[in-house]
Amino acid sequence: MEINGYEIAYSEAELDKMLNEQMLPVVLIDEQFEGYQKLQEGDKKALKHLVAAAKIMNEVSQEQDHHMNIVQRKALEKATISSSYAAKALKLFMSLNGVEGLNGLDAEPVEIFKGISGLPGRNFYPVDLTVGEFHKIIQKMLEDGKVDEVRKILSARTMVRRDGEVLKAIDYTEYFAKEFSAIANELEVAAHYTTDEKFKDYLGWQAQALIQNNEDMDMLADKHWAVLQDSELEFTLSRECYDDAITPSVFENSALMALLNRYNIEVNSKDMLGIRVGIVNKQGTELLLKFKDLMKELAAKMPFAERYEQNINKSDELKQTMVDADLAALTGDYAQCRGGITTAQNLPNNDKLSIKTGGGRRNVYHRQVRMSVDKEKNRKLLERLVAPELHRYFDPETDHLFVIGHENGHSLGPDSKYQTGLGQYKHIIEEHKADIVSMAFMPEYVKAGVIDDETLKKIYVTHVVYRLFGKAKPQLSLPHRVAELIELNYLLENKAISFDEDMKLHIDFERFPQVMRQLLEDTVEIQLSMSPQKAKEFIERYSVWSDVSQKIAAVHAELGVKPYKDIKMFF
Ligand SMILES: [Zn+2]
């Protein structure tokens, strides 16, 4: 079947399999949800306008992601009226939130239409722009004195297009003027209705940031957002930069980098946008705050703590808020379920002005995402790959505790200057570091009485089974997956875990925390070295896809993996 001149790449039967056997629903809250019922009328109204804003942002992200997304989606929507085949293709499209994407299993991306592939520069850059040409143009523009334009081209908030022989940058607030102004309107209305003064204030700043071509406005919005701890509602405009592969290619061109440094031009990958809307869950948030209380103590226990300044120590007050949220909407970048869906997110990232100027971070945990698990599959996985005496320690709820430790882990260790020093490897090493901070410090939470010994064992077992049992050899573009493979290999090499002749997992509960500590030291040392070469060597050494990984992946494949998500929104 052809959609807008492009043939659907999967047969209807193949789509049936993907949708019926390989897709996991992620069910967000509806109007019957207790937390919603308890809201005051004003906040109920506000929530609906925030969800409306979220839906508009989805259009923005589809445009950022691929130049064919919107035209193909519209054609699919039209074809759906008379074709169940098209309806199925549309469902896959909505899961990827685009025409293509990795599914976390196969090395090659899932491409819904024959002849439409993803591009390294997504739609941030001209579709026919190669890395080589990009570098040449940037170099030429600098030589011609177009320093300000180059600065804009290499900024996180512009779409780049051809302008004759050179390139021009269009600020998001201009390129997406129509959508941003509609979103700003929804935010203003929500601000009018909400009963929460601080939240109202933040929404006002955020609305302004969407209509002014001014990075300072983003900074101010971020700062008002990051301090929200006691609000009833949750709203986040997410800006993350992991999708654009053209901008960071500049880091590998040392001559060009030298030139950019001379002009003091920062290189920041493009931000993919998304919106999350929800209601803060009070009980879940209390647990998070218990973990938070320990962070200062943990900072002092970081390896080589005396050699660097940690983000967390930059002011007396710990500038990190955190909430557990019941979700009403996930759109844009959040809904690009390409090999996974995020269970928590700590923003702003280090490249953002609000962080550089001393602003705090806010971490939001996604209850409905972490509750969407495939129980039957987990049971079979234990039977096949885990020694029987460990089964009682498998508890997916404890993965949440690992995630809390991971997110807090980003605030510990060498600050952003060191992280950036690792060039293109910074994301992998930073995600890896956060994983290891989490695991290495779990015994500290036992000492502090936040969790008990039994829970600690559950965290170890669940972590290995849930996170380290990889489903496929990870691409370097998936930092979290690479980090997990590194951890698996390190634990095996140092005998904290092992597999017997029946391919059943065993854990040495004595060695496990010691090896984690050692791994944390090795990792922090790499960040302190600021050497991309050292990072590369470490990653290459420990991200080997061994026989063990291959066997684990084979079991996953046999039991059936559900790499696709179906986010069900009701507002
Ligand atoms: Zn992380």
Q: Which distant-in-sequence residues (6+ apart) come within 8 Å of 550 by Cβ?
A: none
When pLDDT is averaged across residues 374-403 and rounded to a whole number, the result is 94
**What percent of the chain stands above pLDDT 90?**
88
Please give the pLDDT value at position 495.
98
CA of 334 to the centre of ligand 1 (A): 14
CA of 411 to the centre of ligand 1 (A): 10
The three-class DSSP label of residue 58 is helix
CA of 544 to the centre of ligand 1 (A): 21
Residue 175 has pLDDT above 70, yes or no: yes
Please give the pLDDT value at position 53.
98
Residue 132 has pLDDT above 60, yes or no: yes
Residue 312 has pLDDT above 70, yes or no: no
CA of 510 to the centre of ligand 1 (A): 27
Residue 316 has pLDDT above 90, yes or no: no
Q: Is the pTM of this model over 0.95?
A: no
Please give the pLDDT value at position 407.
85
Q: How far apart are CA 442 and CA 398, in angstroms?
A: 11
CA of 250 to the centre of ligand 1 (A): 24
CA of 431 to the centre of ligand 1 (A): 5
Please give the pLDDT value at position 478.
85
Q: Which tens digits make up the pLDDT trace of 257-279?
A: 999 999 999 999 999 999 999 99
What the block records as the tokens of 12 is 């209807």
Question: Which string of DSSP letters, residue by residue, matches 354-389?
Answer: HHHTT--EEEEEEHHHHT---HHHHHHHHHHHB-GG
Please give the pLDDT value at position 313.
62
Q: On the CB side of 51, how many CA atoms lie within 13 Å of its CA?
A: 18
Q: How far apart are CA 462 and CA 431, in angstroms?
A: 19
CA of 41 to the centre of ligand 1 (A): 36
Q: How confident is the model at residue 399 (pLDDT cuts 50, 70, 90)?
A: very high
What the block records as the tokens of 364 is 């939001």
CA of 4 to the centre of ligand 1 (A): 39
Number of neighbouring beta carbons within 10 Å of residue 343: 19
Alpha helices in 410-545 (DSSP H): 416-420, 426-440, 442-447, 453-463, 479-493, 511-529, 532-542
When pLDDT is averaged across residues 190-204 and rounded to a whole number, the result is 98
Q: Which distant-in-sequence residues (6+ apart) come within 8 Å of 194 by Cβ?
A: 42, 43, 46, 200, 203, 232, 233
Question: Number of helices (H) and strands (E), helices first, in the chain?
Answer: 26, 15
Cis previous bond, 348, omega within 30:
yes
CA of 548 to the centre of ligand 1 (A): 25
Q: Which residues are found with C-beta within 5 Å of the ion, ligand 1? A: 431, 434
Q: Which burial class, exposed, middle or buried, applies to 48 when counting CB atoms under 10 A from its CB (0-12, 13-18, 19+)? A: middle
Residue 315 has pLDDT above 70, yes or no: no
**What percent of the chain stands above pLDDT 70?**
99
Q: How confident is the model at residue 292 (pLDDT cuts 50, 70, 90)?
A: confident
* 482-516 b/e (C-beta count within 10 Å ≥ 16 → b): bbbbbbbbbbbebebbebeeeebbebeeeebbebb
When pLDDT is averaged across residues 94-102 and rounded to a whole number, the result is 97
Residue tagged 């993919």 (tokens):
272
Residue 311 has pLDDT above 80, yes or no: no
Q: Which distant-in-sequence residues (6+ apart) come within 8 Å of 564 by Cβ?
A: 18, 19, 22, 23, 24, 92, 95, 96, 103, 337
Q: Which tens digits make up the pLDDT trace of 465-518?
A: 999 999 999 988 889 999 999 999 999 999 999 999 999 999 999 999 999 999
CA of 429 to the centre of ligand 1 (A): 10
Q: Which tens digits make up the pLDDT trace of 38-79?
A: 999 999 999 999 999 999 999 999 999 999 999 999 999 999
Q: Which of 239, 202, 219 is nearest to 357 (CA)?
A: 219
360 or 9: which carries more pLDDT confidence? 9
Cβ proximity of 482 and 545 under 8 Å: no
CA of 192 to the centre of ligand 1 (A): 34
Q: Which distant-in-sequence residues (6+ apart) come within 8 Å of 190 by Cβ?
A: 45, 46, 47, 49, 50, 53, 203, 235
Please give the pLDDT value at position 317.
54
Residue 539 has pLDDT above 80, yes or no: yes
Q: Which tens digits make up the pLDDT trace of 418-446?
A: 888 898 899 999 999 999 999 999 999 99
Q: How confident is the model at residue 375 (pLDDT cuts 50, 70, 90)?
A: confident
Residue 385 has pLDDT above 90, yes or no: yes
Residue 402 has pLDDT above 60, yes or no: yes
Please give the pLDDT value at position 318.
66
CA of 238 to the centre of ligand 1 (A): 14
Q: What angle (nearest 5°) sits at the alpha carbon of residue 218, between those of residues 214 and 224?
A: 140
Question: Which string of DSSP letters, residue by residue, matches 155-210?
Answer: STTEEEEEETTEEEEEEHHHHTHHHHHHHHHHHHHHHHH-S-HHHHHHHHHHHHHH
Q: What are the backbone angles phi and psi of residue 23, rounded to the nearest 5°?
A: -120, 130
> In DSSP terms, which residues pair with 238 in a beta bridge?
274
Q: Dump strand ranges (E) for 61-125.
A: 100-101, 110-111
Please give the pLDDT value at position 314.
56
CA of 61 to the centre of ligand 1 (A): 21
Please give the pLDDT value at position 52.
98
